[in-house]
A and B are shown apart, each in its own frame.
Chain A
Amino acid sequence: MGCLIAIAIIPFLGAEKISWNEIWDPSSAAHRIFFELRIPRLFLTLIVGGVLASLGGTYQILFHNALAEPYVLGICSAVTLGIGVAEVFLKVPTYSLTAGAIGFGFGGIATVLLIFLALSRVGDDADELILFGMGLNFVLSSALFLMLSYAYQHMGGGSLRWLFGQIPWASAKEVALLAAVVAPLLGLILLFSRRLDALAFGDTVARTMGFHPARARAVFLAVSSLLLAVVVFFTGAIGFVGLVIPHGIRLVFRPSSSRLLLVMSMVAGSLFLAVSDLLSRLLLPPFEFPIGILTTLFGGPVFLYLLWRKGTT
């Protein structure tokens, strides 16, 4: 009941004040604002909100994952990419039939891919489908960012660049300082990595292995947060490296323990980022692509391929 009242009140509120009497006069501006603008918009929000929430619920159950949400599979990025392509290359307005059709087409292709994957290659290991969706999501959205950042070069500056990640021209002194901070912290994580394995056996087992599980978790959280903060200060958020390198290492090398996984990931991540940065400078000089876009664009397909191959074996 309260909800109905709230919904009934919403279209009366806004920048333009509207009274009950005014809206019934067809010649008044209030009438048009009410019936042609606010009512449709209200129903749009009602429908979209309902769809998003119920889809989230569906995905959470379907994928046994409390964090699943509607955008996790990459369909959203596909549609957005389609609309971006229509705008940038075909120069059509974003809310046109053409843009919608292309967006819908892109989304359709992504959906078909996912359904094909779900039916043919993935069992009920829902994690795999989510990983695939996340990979797809990353690739598509970075393609979109790539396009937009090139099309709107004049706009990307300041703290906006932290959003997609960037590699700044840092001085030797700054980098040495960064190394001095990072090295001991990474060392600490490697030192504790056996406990990472032990913790994964659950708290009861961890306790009988001679350490306090909650305290060990706190150490990991503190050290990792500090490390991340230092790195983000320099480069912003560089997508994909953290998700895909460890999974890729697992798929290809099957490291025996967390310690080995972490060491291998460290090396692979370093090389991967160095090469991506080189490409970001060489592709269209003097324009420098935001690094996060490139890491995703080049690493993503490799990752999807690895997942695909794993599904077939």
Chain B
Amino acid sequence: MAPNFCQGTEVILGHGRRVITPQGLNFEFPSGKATALIGPNGSGKTTLLRALTGDPCLKSGDIWLGKDRASLRTLGLRGLSKLAAVVPQEHRYPKHLLLEEALRLAFLPEAGLLGKLPLADSEPIVEACKQFRLSSLTKRTLGELSTGERQRAFLARAFLQHSQVLLLDEPTNHLDPGGRAQFWNALVTIRKKSSVDVIISTHDLEFVKQHCEWVCALKSGQIVYSGPSTAYWESHSASSLFEDKSP
């Protein structure tokens, strides 16, 4: 078995009193493969991703993350920032912030409260702008970007954080087909150039088929499949997960 970068045992997730995964989730995601979380809305994808960011929705059980397999239960937020960078689903953002400043913020965990952030024309930021096709937009505010540009900016920020794991929650939700393609291209490029592990929740099954090697399918708070992507698509049609079998 390949080494894992993410493992959970008896993971029970919930918001307040509402329990999302009453039976407990057990999962292992192998390193070096992009893991896709797929499943209908409300199946627990977003909650699982949020748990991976240290959100208190992790009620019991434990999750280990990263190469050293640190437990999220004992890991401080400072340690977490080195492990996980995130592009959440309902992304709030300061609309007056310049794009280049948003990218500089990626270095906030490293710099801490007193440290200096690298300048906007420092090498990693310029390089990332090129990679994510944001170079001509750096002097715009986040509010002035298009939805697609903004999503790429958020991905660039998360990537620049140099964490071991990228967590993307339905990142292409509101994008048009062109924007979606640009976003996925940026992600594929990142994976070629760095060893970052990726967990993506998405409804874009075509992308999953082509670019994600591992699939974790959720339905009503349970994992119904977790394994190699190719094997999943051999035995399941794209729509089977989304059929409503309840009476």
Q: How would residues 96 to 127 of chain B score, 1 for a CB under 8 Å from any chain A CB and 0 otherwise?
A: 11101110010011001110010000000000
A169 within 8 A of B: no
- B93:A210 contact, CB within 8 angstroms: no
- B101:A256 contact, CB within 8 angstroms: yes
Partner of A200, one of B86, B90, B92, B108: B92
Collect the chain A residues with CB atoms within 8 Å of residue B92's CB.
Answer: 200-202
Partner of B77, one of A194, A205, A207: A207
Q: How would residues 241 to 271 of chain A score, 1 for a CB under 8 Å from any chain B CB and 0 otherwise?
A: 0000000001000111110010000000000
Collect the chain A residues with CB atoms within 8 Å of residue B109's CB.
Answer: 208-210
Q: How would residues 33 to 71 of chain B score, 1 for a CB under 8 Å from any chain A CB and 0 otherwise?
A: 000000000000000001001110000000000000000
A124 within 8 A of B: no
List chain B positions with a Cβ less than 8 A from chain A: 50, 53-55, 77-78, 80-81, 84-86, 88, 90-94, 96-98, 100-102, 105, 108-109, 112-114, 117, 141, 161, 163
A310 to nearest B CB, angstroms? Answer: 13
- Knowing A210-B108, A257-B98 are in contact, say whether A201-B80 is a contact too (CB < 8 A): no
Total A-B residue contacts, Cβ distance less than 8 Å: 81
Partner of A256, one of B90, B91, B98, B108: B98
**Smallest Cβ-Cβ distance to A261: which chain B residue:** B96
**20 further A-B pairs in the complex, CB-CB below 8 A; given A201-B94, A209-B81:** A194-B105, A197-B97, A197-B101, A200-B92, A201-B92, A204-B53, A205-B86, A205-B91, A208-B81, A208-B86, A209-B108, A210-B80, A210-B108, A210-B112, A212-B77, A250-B96, A256-B100, A256-B101, A257-B101, A258-B94
**Smallest Cβ-Cβ distance to B98: which chain A residue:** A256
- B55:A194 contact, CB within 8 angstroms: no
Total interface residues in chain A, CB < 8 Å:
24
- A207:B141 contact, CB within 8 angstroms: no
A191 within 8 A of B: yes
- B100:A201 contact, CB within 8 angstroms: no
B32 to nearest A CB, angstroms? Answer: 22
- B163:A208 contact, CB within 8 angstroms: yes
